[in-house]
Structure 1
Amino acid sequence: MHDLGPATRELARVAAQVGDDDLDRPTPCGAWTVRDLLGHLLALTAHFASVARHAAPERGGPPAEVTEGWRAVLDERLADLAVAWTEPGAWEGEGSAGGLTMPNAQLGVVALEEIVLHGWDLARSVGAGYAVRDEDVETVGGFVAGFEHAGEEGRAGLYGPVVDADPASELDRVLALAGRDPHRPLASASG
């Protein structure tokens, strides 16, 4: 079991700093804009909360629409996601995500990985600071390292190519393994 609460609260803190004029900014996630990234977060938080509860999954797949009121919805879904993974049995059995069925113990780590990496992506995109616990970085790093030598085909849809970067921290190393340039400059904060 792993506590998703600190990572979800940090992502909520970063998301609260996103202004309406930030929605069309680029992100470290390929061609995704901040709007696309937020839509992905809206979809995945609902999906992974359902997985934890062994319920019929919420809509997954492409990013959800980012409509008026998205901040409150994302806040609520992040809090619900953290609570869902503390419930008895959440880490037991199996579920599915991305078309794959696997043990919930692994899916809980995937949920954390999505929150940590996309939290960093969002922070970089809008010029916000980002802090993540060492134990979260360690857990996510163990998952991401499993794809380090998977080749482009094995990483497709998950990560870009490994970035050759001089990591200043363990988070930087994990980001580089996940195809992100840890030295990517922060975007200028919105006015």
Structure 2
Amino acid sequence: MSEHAALIAPAAAEFAGILRETGESDLSARTPCAGYDVRALLNHLLYWGPWLEAAGRKVAPPEVSSGEAEAGLVDDEWLSAIEKQTARLVDVFGAPGAWQGMTALGTAEMPASIVGDMVLGEFVFHGWDLAKATGRSLDVAPEAAEAVLASAVAMGDQARAMKVYGEEVPVAEGATTFERALGATGRDPGWTS
């Protein structure tokens, strides 16, 4: 899926725009991700970003001393940290080579294209989560919507078994491609805080 490499930078730019509009008062807002408020979702992104980057570079994952919930990565510099992390992910996954061959995400060996699609999904789905939580909207390009839908459907059963996705949410007849992608990941396209 190295053709998806071209989708990374525009999706990251939309994602970054939502981040820059997220303020201190938004950190306790609920998100469409069950069990995550904005602070916890930002912590999730900061925790897993280095793992995704390592997988894209095909190097060993970072050494960690705690799990995601205990990491506490959202401090006064969270915006700068996540913007730098986003730029590194764009640098890595914006290149077709990152999508080729095999890599490891932690101890799990998998095709690098799956990790690339995960990164695209992080920007698109979690960008939408943050936008919905903070009363904003996210512009998802049609090509990105198609890519994340295909990925969500392909990984759906395994992601649900691993509790990464919730149960599939039925969407209305005539739903957009992106709404169908949201439903496939267990998100309700009509979610409101």
Instruction: Please indicate the TM-score interval, normalised by the length of the shorter structure.
Output: 0.7 to 0.9
Q: Which runs of 5+ in 2 are unaligned?
A: none
Of 170-179 and 154-163, deviating more is 154-163
Distance 1:75 1:154, change over 3 A: closer
Q: Deviations over 1:89-139 (max 9, x none)?
A: 312232222652101122111111122111111110111110111111111
Which residue of structure 2 lines up, in the alignment, with residue 7 of structure 1?
11
Q: For residues 147 and 51 of structure 1, what CA distance do their matches in structure 2 show?
A: 18
Q: Which has the higher contact order (CA 8 A, sep 6+)?
A: 2
Q: For residues 74 and 9 of structure 1, what CA distance do their matches in structure 2 show?
A: 12
Alignment partner of 2:55 out of 48, 51, 58: 51
Asked if the contact 2:58/2:104 (under 8 Å) is kept, the reply is no
Q: How does 1:4-153 map to 2 (within 5 A)?
A: 4-58=8-62, 62=68, 64=71, 65-87=73-95, 89-97=97-105, 99-148=107-156, 150=157
Q: Which runs of 5+ in 1 are unaligned?
A: none
Distance 1:35 1:154, change over 3 A: closer
Q: Write the letter of the residue equivalent to 1:83.
A: D
Give the root-mean-square deviation of aligned CA atoms. 2.1
Q: Deviations over 1:47-92 (max 9, x none)?
A: 2122111122236752542111110111111111011113463122
Q: For residues 34 and 174 of structure 1, what CA distance do their matches in structure 2 show?
A: 21
Of 13-22 and 40-49, deviating more is 40-49
Q: TM-score, with normalisation over the residues of structure 2?
A: 0.86
Q: Which structure features the higher share of helix residues?
A: 2
Q: Write the letter of the residue equivalent to 1:174.
A: A
Q: For residues 146 and 41 of structure 1, what CA distance do their matches in structure 2 show?
A: 22
Q: Secondary structure at the match of 2:61?
A: coil
Alignment partner of 1:163 out of 163, 169, 183: 169
Q: TM-score, with normalisation over the residues of structure 1?
A: 0.87
Q: Secondary structure at the match of 1:119?
A: helix
Q: Secondary structure at the match of 1:26?
A: coil
Asked if the contact 1:35/1:66 (under 8 Å) is kept, the reply is yes
Q: Deviations over 1:1-28 (max 9, x none)?
A: 1221111111110011111011111111
Shift in Å, 1:147: 4.4
Which residue of structure 1 lines up, in the alignment, with residue 180 of structure 2?
173
Q: For residues 94 and 153 of structure 2, what CA distance do their matches in structure 1 show?
A: 25
Shift in Å, 1:154: 4.5
Asked if the contact 1:46/1:59 (under 8 Å) is kept, the reply is no
